[in-house]
Structure 1
Amino acid sequence: MSGPSDRIVPSPPRLDRLTDGDVPFRRGHFLAYAPRDFHRIAYVEWGDAASPHVAICVHGLSRQGRDFDALAYALARIGYRVICPDLPGRGLSGWLRDPELYALPQYASDMAALIAHLGVTGTIDWIGTSLGGLTGMVLAAAQGTPIRRLVINDIGPFLPWAPIRQIGNRLRDAPRLHHNLASGESRLRTVLGDFGPLTDEQWRHIAVHSFVQEPTGGWRPHYDPAIGDAFRPGRVYSVSMWRDWDAIRCPVLLLRGARSDLLLPETADEMMRRGPRTYRVEIPDCGHAPALLDPEQIRVVTDWMGSPQQVERPPAGP
């Protein structure tokens, strides 16, 4: 894998010590609205709260914002204010009363409310993994969008139905309770194997934030099981969002796991031929989706985004 420059980002310190390090770390939340329902949106924030250079990192379908700890730390160290929310039904955010609302329109609405809550009056950079990338595409395609640069991690405007069905099956088949955290981590190492080769420390970091300890004993997944309702048999089909892709005007960094079955090579090729100017990086030894915990993967993102104090560079080409 190669990045757009040879600048080296130092390896981040231990994941379990990031919040005690030299970068400010804060937790926050606000109330967002769904039809007949207010719900809590939680987030973590890194870096100088007064920085005008804002990056928002949004996770995948069954994940949460702490997946971005290492990347957020690296971006905050070069001057960004970084916000990593939990989408509704995940992490520390509230669950929706109506499971039918777990869909892109609600996620986009909640993330627009997040931008308003943060008091952002200028532009933002968006980093989205899988579902977070789709949400970013919707917002970046809108008229008057505040998104000036977009990083999409292993997702595209066309989603084939077969891997979507597999994702849904894994959600529905996930145990509702593990006897201990080690059991939960073991399952994650299996079902999230496409994240790429991770260290024991990285897997433990993922596991710690993927389960909630019940007062009566055991560990349950951090998400509302109803987020899988949209993947019930008979409801899974291929998805096309080319209209959104073609409407995007900001530069895009497209990351693709070399073994990904969700972002097909031909889809990535088509994304390079049409829509926004896009720089593409293939990440070896990964499927769907690279975890963005590896220092080299982090370097690719930080190199492309650059120090926010720099004059903005022209968008990179293929």
Structure 2
Amino acid sequence: MIWVVVLALGVIAIPQTIEWMRHGVSAKRRADSPGKVKLLSQGETYYEWLGPERGPVAVCVHGLSTSSYVWRGMAKGLALLGFRVLVYDHYGRGLSEAVSGKQDADFFVTQLVDLLVLEKIDEPLTMLGYSMGGAVVAHFAARYPGKVKQLILLAPAGMHDIAGGKIKMTRDWPVIGDWLFLLIYPFILRKGIRAEAGLPSSVEDINALQHAETDRRGYFPAILSSLRGLLRHKTKEQHLAIAATGLPVLAIWGEDDDVIPLASKDALAEWHPQAQQTVIPGAGHGLTHTHTDQVLDAIKASRG
């Protein structure tokens, strides 16, 4: 009987043991990176400036399971448009610290505000949000409309619940949901990464970068915390507030996106009828790096 209990406890401990065995962010990796790591109010954040030393600032906010590397191709194009481009890693992703706490709207907006204060950026910004980053920048723009001059949303979250099936169950169940998430989600995510291995990308070795992220301690708990926090709620209230200010909004969608349904376009049109929207044929959820030129063309067209 005792061995049955021991075996059961061993099985229960498997996901947490695997998580504990994953590597943390090493000082060498940070030192070898082109950006900087600074301590903000919630933890250490990695960020990087790209493009010219002068010019209007574009802040790029990545999504749920990527980190700032996803912007490398886009940033080059934005720099050619004259933008100074600021990218950074959410907590628990890339080279930023994995911190405790619920990753809700306040959590993400605080990190962004802290970074802007640190870098003494007080001019109106062009803000780009990809996937979950679209929800982050919507919350930021709704709270600080005077700090934003254009909002560019790339396959943005916030219009529909993106957690379905097993993921929704793990999100909604405390304790056992944590165990199930750490057990099954790494397989789901890695399967998706492998499926995209042959796609063209403006980011060199993006598949390897994605796989490396999944071996980082704190990464999967951060994703679960975001699903339970920011991504649990729609951004209807925020977009209604943004629409009331007259802030220019451009939303770019992938025709074949299997993460953010194209029906989200209709929800945004209802909340913000003045928002400019465009759909890229053949693009999936990775349009930021798989269809970079088309995304940049849409941004150029929106600027007149």
TM-score (norm 1): 0.69
In 2 relative to 1, CA 164–299 (structure 1 residues): closer, same or farther, beyond 3 Å? farther
Contact 1:185 1:207 in 2 (8 A): no
AA aligned to 2:87 is C
Distance across 2 between alignment mates of 1:72 and 1:236: 25
- Equivalent position amino acid for 1:84 in 2: V
Q: Is 1:29 matched with 2:28?
A: no
Q: Which one is further off, 247-256 or 64-73?
A: 247-256
Deviation (angstroms), 1:272: 1.8
Displacement of 1:253: 1.0
1:230 pairs with one of 212, 225, 232 = 225
Q: 2-side partners of 1:186 and 1:162: how far apart?
A: 17
In the alignment of these two chains, the number of paired residues is: 258
Structure with more helix by fraction? 2
1:173 is aligned to 2:184:
yes
Q: Distance in 1 between matches of 2:239 and 2:144?
A: 13
SS of aligned partner of 2:44: strand
Separation in 2 of the partners of 1:186 and 1:84?
Answer: 27
Instruction: Name the Cα RMSD after superposition.
Output: 3.5
Q: Deviations over 1:118-149 (max 9, x none)?
A: 22121111111111110000011114541111
Which residue does 2:252 correspond to in 1? 255
Whichever residue aligns with residue 284 of structure 1, its letter is P
Letter in 2 for 1:230: S
- Displacement of 1:260 in angstroms is 3.1
Distance 1:124 1:263, change over 3 A: same
Q: Of Structure 1 and Structure 2, which has the larger fraction of its residues in strand?
A: 1
Change (3 A) 1:210 1:148: farther
Give the whole-Å Cα distance in 2 for the aligned partners of 1:113 and 1:29: 13
TM-score (normalizing by structure 2): 0.72
Specify the alignment match of 2:108 in structure 1.
Answer: 107
- Structure 1 CA distance for aligned equivalents of residues 35 and 275 of structure 2: 33
Check 1:30–1:165 CA distance in 2 against 1; reply closer, same or farther (3 A cut): farther
**Counterpart in 2 of 1:180?**
none
Alignment gaps of 5+ in structure 2 = 1-32, 172-179
Instruction: Report matched runs for 1:181-196 at 5 Å.
Output: 188-190=193-195, 193=196
| Aligned-partner Cα distance in 1 for 2:241–2:201 | 41
Do 1:165 and 1:231's aligned partners in 2 also have CA atoms closer than 8 Å? no
Are the counterparts in 2 of residues 75 and 302 from structure 1 also a CA contact under 8 Å?
no
Question: Which of 25, 48, 52 is residue 48 of structure 1 equivalent to?
Answer: 52
**Could you tell me which amino acid in structure 1 is paired with residue 300 of structure 2?**
D
Looking at structure 2, the residues matched to 222 and 265 of structure 1 have their Cα atoms a distance apart, in angstroms, of 33
Instruction: Map 1:3-42; keep pairs closer than 5 Å.
Output: 26-34=34-42, 39-42=43-46
**Are 2:264 and 1:267 aligned?**
yes
Deviation string for 1:206-253 (max 9, x for gaps)? Answer: 4236516xxxxxx82475221133388x99996322111101131111
Structure 1 unmatched ranges of 5 or more: 1-24, 177-183, 213-218, 307-312, 314-318
Taking the aligned partners of 1:149 and 1:246, their CA distance within structure 2 comes to 16
Residues 73 and 202, structure 2, Cα contact 8 Å, conserved in 1: no
Q: Which residue of 2 aligns with 1:124?
A: 125
- Looking at structure 1, the residues matched to 79 and 229 of structure 2 have their Cα atoms a distance apart, in angstroms, of 41
Query: Structure 1's 144 and 235: CA in aligned 2 closer, same or farther, altered over 3 A?
Result: closer
Distance 2:193 2:198 in 1: 13
- Cα 1:26–1:260 shift into 2, 3 Å: same
For 1:220, the equivalent position in structure 2 comes to 215
| Rg comparison, structure with higher value | 2
In 2: Cα distance, 1:152 partner to 1:236 partner: 16
Identity, in percent, stands at 20
Which one of 233, 240, 245 corresponds to residue 246 of structure 1?
240
**Which secondary structure does the structure 1 equivalent of 2:288 belong to?**
coil
> How far apart are 1:31 and its partner, in Å?
1.5
Distance 1:222 1:296, change over 3 A: farther
Displacement of 1:265 after TM fit?
3.8
The superposition leaves residues 141-190 of structure 1 with CA deviations (integer Å, 9 ceiling, x where unpaired) of 114541111111112442225448548788753559xxxxxxx9876232
Code of the aligned partner of 1:220 = D
Partner of 1:92: 95
